[in-house]
Amino acid sequence: MQDEEAVDSSDSMNVTDIVLQSSSPKLSHKQDYIFHGGRRHVRPYYFEFISHVNKRWTGKTIVDLFADEFKGRPRDYYVGAVKSGRIKVDGETVPVSYIVKSSQKITHFLHRLHEPPVMTDDVEILLKEPDVVTVCKPASIPVHPCGQYRKNTVVGILDAEHDLGPLFPIHRLDRLVSGLLIIARTAAKADFFRQQIEGGLVKKRYIAKVIGVFPEDEKVVDANINYNGSEGRSTAEDASSSGDDQKVKGKPACTKFTRIDTNGTHSLVLCEPVTGRTHQIRVHLQYTGHPIANDPLYLTQHVDDLETKIAKRIDAGERKLVSPDDYVYSSEDFSIDPMCTNCPKLIPQGYEEHDEALWLHCIRYSGTGWEYECPYPSWASL
């Protein structure tokens, strides 16, 4: 169940008067989007989150469960949501003192957390076949619904603008990574790709723009990747450098790097990951001493100050584009919900990030009997 932000429960709206969008066969429609300030926004809508009572939740009151587990909203909100029927147990309205039992279904009906904006770059279709579609994914857009994103995803945009759905993504690119994305149009084709991926038959190629003069000879990095979910970043550890009495952390990971070009300040590097760990290419490039030149997560402390400024560049004009105060409610855009903490603002509460395209781009995937490619991005020229 998604943890949402705090709201004022002093007023409420009858749930029966609200259209539930999760019941629609289409994920998105063209009219769901608002283009403003160089960003693609999603008109806020109602959504029903579903969860089941786990062992830790068993024995708590329905209000205590939400107040303890989803701290983004005040306790008073959850009291109001239970009383108004926005929070139900097994489809029934319950009193605030109700004690939940194992495996019960809990639904939380709310004004969907206003989705964060993404860049307005088009999701370019490269190839459309009866059972496969390949696209060039822009940076800043997630592949599929996750976290705060649902309609502002590659899958959502393709459904809205090209009536392509349902779709079955067979691999994932991080939100800030651009490039080739292969999407199956049938479950059978998705299974075909997954079998080849799981069988180690798929070869992947990326390009990255890194700091400094990357070594001319091919370089293979074989270093475990340890992902820290609470920090949202990975670290690399060379298994051969650890003593016999020291346990190596993380999962085995291997990436092959080949320099394509260099101008003395930056290098363009071909990256061929053998495994697929979280942030593998980014952290392995950092491990070589040549991190991606605009990667704020993995730039080392020894990077020239100019490069640090490039990576974290947010001038006053760009900051204004994503300010929550920059675009507020208009009756022509969406209907406000008196219980929603984001309304009347369109941008989610606390959203202040500025997305730049990470200089990492997927250019090719190939397997047994197939190969798909994507053009180079503009930043790939030195």
Active site residues: 174
- Residue 293 one-letter amino acid: A
Spatial CB neighbours of 223, under 8 Å, sequence gap ≥ 6: 236, 237, 238, 239, 253, 284, 287
What b/e readout covers 351-380, taking b as 16+ CB neighbours within 10 angstroms?
A: beeebbbbbbbbbbbebeeeebebeebebb
How far apart are the C-alpha atoms of 237 and 247, rounded to whole Å?
11
Triad 40, 18, 41: Cα angle to 5°: 5
- Residue 2 one-letter amino acid: Q
| Helix, strand, or coil (residue 143) | coil
| Nearest residue to 214 (alpha-carbon basis) of 255, 256, 254, 262 | 262
Tokens 């809990």 — which residue? 106
How far apart are the C-alpha atoms of 204 and 76, rounded to whole Å?
50
Measured in residues, the chain has a length of 382
Tell me the β-bridge partners of 41.
34
